[in-house]
Structure 1
Amino acid sequence: MIGVAALALGLVLLVEGLAYALAPSLIERMLVVLRQLPIDQRRLMGLAAMALGLVLIWLGKSLGA
């Protein structure tokens, strides 16, 4: 179980690191846009991302990962 958690955290850090390494100016522009959104809309986006992540985890487990 700890190995799976470490793998998942590693994958998240890899994807986040790629975004910052390959397109730092895009990240800055995205942060400006995010600051302009109301807090409720940002919260809804976070909940949607969590739901999508949960679906992907369920799908991965269903496919035998």
Structure 2
Amino acid sequence: MSWILLGLGLVLVVEGLAWALAPSLLEDMLEALRRLPVERRRLVGLAALAAGTALIWAARGLGG
């Protein structure tokens, strides 16, 4: 359970920093995502899922 809370906390920190430091850039990125077809957005989501899984796997392998 502590790993889940740690992960969620890290996500919120990164998201909060992005919104605090570059809100207009995030709005532009959201608009660009809106223009992408649904299938492309799905592929982007799957790529992010794969990258996140690989990072977690690598972190655990390095001594987590």
TM-score (norm: length of structure 2): 0.97
Which position in structure 2 is the counterpart of 1:30?
29
**Is the partner of 2:51 in helix, strand or coil?**
helix
Return 5+ residue gaps in structure 2 as ranges: none
Gaps (5+ residues) in structure 1? none
For 2:46, the equivalent position in structure 1 comes to: 47
What is the CA–CA distance in structure 1 between the aligned matches of 2:42 and 2:9, rounded to whole Å? 25
- Cα RMSD after superposing both structures: 0.5
Aligned to 1:57: 56
1:27: how far off?
0.7
Distance 1:52 1:37 in 2: 20
How many pairs align? 64
CA deviation map 1:10-49 (0-9, x unaligned): 0000000000000000011011111100000000000000
How high is the TM-score relative to the length of structure 1?
A: 0.95
Q: Report the alpha carbon displacement of residue 4 of structure 1 after superposing the two structures with TM.
A: 1.1
